[in-house]
Copies of this chain bind each other. A is one copy, B any other.
């Protein structure tokens, strides 16, 4: 339960603010295993809402779910050279089973391209079996050195889509389609205005031909990669013999993709919207969309207020995720603070005067203080609540977009770029040379976030580092 101690403010120590919010809002806790977390019920419900919003979109785009094994033979990873090189340092390895040493060690999956590739090679025979569009919800383990709740944990939860196609074009289309699904979810459900783009070569997924990401701006103006989609070319098809007979009865290698979004998204939601009072959750994903706080001073008032509260709650419950906080051991003010900390988008207050006036006080979480308060008549309350939640959802996206756009600058030259990435994101031309990319990273600790798909307005320009001709804009920022 939240105590009355104030949160560390964001400006004082953003990192401390983040950890305190996660723990005190009861989203997650530290597990007794190095780098692992426990996702508490409030955080789990938030994640389940993310899952539902994504799963619906996956089904609408023709995907089905399946479950592949947690443990993968070590030799599978070694079949794709880049893949094993990328993941080797992060593996958790099972060496003993049933009391005996295993003949071949098994890794706890860090991602499942290899074992899914193996199964696809068994299942795919002809062009009629394509495209194969499968998604998996599950847990993976990567032995990370520095961990943060939700942002980077040794075990995390995610979905990983794995698809196989007959042609390059179809696989490329799928890669971008799923990037678009992530962006649509982030923007419309999480109220986070992400930017879709291609990762630079150095930031590519181990084994991919091209990687794409959605990038979000956090409250401290750092970037967070919130979802990735990979065009794997024929790399895994060749490593795992994923072949099909085409319409001319000739054997061809498939083209495959993979794409993933994880519990990291919860971290993105916390940091894109949170303020010094705590979380601010978008109505579409919030575990509780509204909390009702009845207020009374004496027994007579209590009876009348609780009766009305129960009636209103029963009515609203059929349409909204609602919490009634009628605890007697804490004050209304304590409850206000607690549910603000926990980010509930809308609060209804019902006191004796409200009962008399047949109205309720509505307080918006996204607009603090008096400005966010209004009075709504009890008649037609459900529609008013719905309208208000829609408004909050839209305003949260607007306000995050304004914040993002105000903190992206286009520096004139390299010196200006150094300054820009100290205070936000830079959009700048880059020639594509990894040396220029490395120089920015070494000089500023900012990295190439992505090369946006939207290059509208970008003509040929000059690389901000070396001055050579450059075709495309990139975003540069400090990142989680």
Contacts and interface: CB of A to CB of B under 8 A. Distances in A.
B64 A29 contact: no
Contact of A97 (B39, B68, B91): B91
A196 to B, nearest CB: 28
Contact of A38 (B31, B69, B90): B69
B92 A94 contact: yes
Contact of A141 (B66, B70, B88, B141): B70
A11 interface: no
A33 B73 contact: yes
Interface in A55-112: 64-73, 76, 88-99, 105-106, 108
Contacts of A68: 31, 38
Interface string A3-39: 0000000000000000000000000010111101111
**Copy count, this protein chain:** 2
Interface in A328-377: 329
Contacts of A36: 69-71
A93 B91 contact: no
Contacts of A410: none
Given A94-B93, A95-B93, A71 B155 contact: yes
B119 A69 contact: no
A329 B115 CA distance: 31
A266 to B, nearest CB: 11
A121 to B, nearest CB: 10
Contacts of A172: none
A143 interface: yes
Interface in A104-149: 105-106, 108, 115, 118-119, 122-123, 128, 134, 138-139, 141, 143, 145
A41 B64 contact: yes
A29 B141 contact: no
Interface string A157-170: 10000000000000
A138 B139 contact: yes
A317 interface: no
Contacts of A329: 128
A40 interface: yes
Given A99-B88, A115-B31, A141 B38 contact: no
A435 interface: no
A143 B97 contact: yes
A36 B89 CA distance: 25
A401 interface: no
A66 B92 contact: no
Interface in A416-431: none
A108 B95 CA distance: 11
18 contacts: A33-B115, A34-B97, A37-B69, A38-B68, A38-B119, A44-B67, A45-B65, A70-B108, A70-B139, A71-B155, A91-B99, A92-B96, A93-B95, A93-B97, A94-B94, A95-B96, A98-B145, A128-B329
Given A41-B65, A97-B154, 5 more contacts: A40-B66, A48-B65, A69-B155, A70-B155, A98-B145
